[in-house]
Amino acid sequence: MSDLQALREKYLAQIEAAEDEAAVEKVRIAALGKKGEISLKMRTLGKMSPEERRTVGAALNALRDEIDAAIRARREALADAALAKRLEKEWLDVTLPARPRPAGTVHPVSQVTEEIVAIFAELGFSVAEGPQVESDWYNFDALNIPPHHPARQEFDTFYMHRAEGDDRPPHVLRTHTSPVQIRAMEAHGAPIRIIAPGRVYRSDYDQTHTPMFHQVEGLAIDRDISMANLKWTLEEFCRAFFEVDHVELRFRASHFPFTEPSAEVDIRCSWEGGQLKVGEGDDWMEILGSGMVHPKVLEAGGIDPNEWQGFAFGLGIDRLAMLKYGIPDLRSFFESDLRWLKHYGFAALDIPTLHGGLGR
Ligand code: PHE
């Protein structure tokens, strides 16, 4: 009898110690399998006397049932533990906020262009467009800059390559948005009030110049438009655009072949400590050229200068963006540095309107 007791203790201990399903199965085979220790013992019953068989048989049956039950219980416990462990690991907090998805930003040039368009739209200007690869007639001749005029040199123009024998008119990357004046006059005649934002190109590169940059052309033609209207329009624009109490403008007499008289406008700013600030300091940044449209330009656009007159201006969009958002280097605008774009970029829903507030 005592050897049954020993078997019982041995197998119960092994079952208890089994750490996984495979270990439990091993114990089961050792004890209750076809050649298991307890099964073999059962087979010896036949050789026993009926007396002995009754007692030993009953004890063996009881032992087999007990071991079998212990194995089942252990299996269940192991399965429960495994499930609990999985649930622990796969636990999900459905109240957590969703993971942020990377979103692009709106480039300051695009944002500022929208701001400018919003302001001039309020003043009754509509948007016009022209090609970036422009014939030299639109870019120069029509704007009173004939061939060999010294102003052609001042522009650092990129000329389009022409194969030998190609007799199409020479083309350039437009050096300013002014050719859109001519195109708009041709298309709509007078009176007219348009702005034309877009890319322009000049071979130039430093902190405030890049070979590609952005301008907005403005053109207003009517019967009695004067220089005073020009000044008011530009001042009104700057007040709305900068949304600060104090911006100081400086109108400087200047010269452009396509306007007479002409004025350039600078804005007071400071570069102190590598930071660009508008409205303070002792520096001036040129932001636009302007003037009364030259009679020859009106003529080139098919408008009679004896009947009509008006003003035009060309604003540097990138420089306005630098000033408004304190971006000290123009070159950084076009380097596509993601950190820069994240920092200075705008969310897609920051749509500029005059009443809703422009910019940030
Ligand atoms: N086109 C000139 C420039 O790019 C700016 C300008 C436009 C000046 C219209 C006068 C009138 O420098």
- pLDDT value for 148: 86
Q: At what angle do helices 50-89 and 21-32 cross, to 10 degrees?
A: 170
Say what the pLDDT of residue 167 is: 86
> 6: which 2 tokens?
């020993």
At residue 243's C-alpha, the angle toward residues 239 and 244, to 5°, is 90
Q: Going by CA atoms, what residue is nearest to atom 9 of ligand 1? A: 313
Q: What is the pLDDT of residue 353?
A: 76
Cα–Cα distance measured from residue 101 to residue 20, given in angstroms and rounded to the nearest whole number: 42
Where the chain has pLDDT below 50, the residues are none
Is the Cβ atom of 140 under 6 angstroms away from ligand 1?
Answer: no
Atom index in ligand 1 nearest the CA of residue 181 equals 9
Contact 303, 189 (CB under 8 A): yes
Could you tell me the CA-to-CA distances from 138 to 133, 143, 148, 154, 186 in Å, in that order?
A: 10, 7, 15, 17, 11
Atom of ligand 1 nearest to the CA of 262: 10
**What pLDDT is recorded for position 262?**
97
Q: For residue 301, give both structure tokens.
A: 């656009």
The pLDDT of residue 360 is 54
**What does pTM read for this prediction?**
0.72
Locate tokens 């000049």: which residue? 202
Measuring from atom 12 of ligand 1, which residue has the nearest CA?
Answer: 289
Query: What's residue 356's pLDDT?
Result: 67
- The pLDDT score that the predictor gives to residue 244 is 77
Fill in the amino acid letter for 287. I
Q: Which ligand 1 atom is at minimum distance from the Cα of 175?
A: 4
Using a 6 Å cutoff on CB, does residue 15 contact ligand 1?
no
- Residues 176 and 216: their CA atoms lie apart, in Å, by 9
Ligand 1 pocket residue status of 290, Cβ below 6 Å? yes
Q: Would you state the pLDDT for residue 100? A: 87
CA dist., res. 321 & res. 318, Å (int): 5
Residue 249: exposure state from Cβ atoms within 10 A (0-12, 13-18, ≥19): middle
How far the first Cα of the chain sits from its last, in Å, is 91
For residue range 2-31, list pLDDT tens digits in order.
788 999 999 999 999 999 999 999 999 999
Give the number of the atom of ligand 1 that is nearest the alpha carbon of residue 288: 5
Ligand 1 centroid to residue 318 C-alpha, Å: 15
Domain 108-344: homologous superfamily in CATH? Bira Bifunctional Protein; Domain 2 (3.30.930.10)
> Helical H runs in the chain?
2-17, 21-32, 37-43, 50-89, 108-122, 136-139, 150-154, 179-188, 227-242, 295-300, 317-325, 338-344
**Token representation of residue 314:** 């060309």
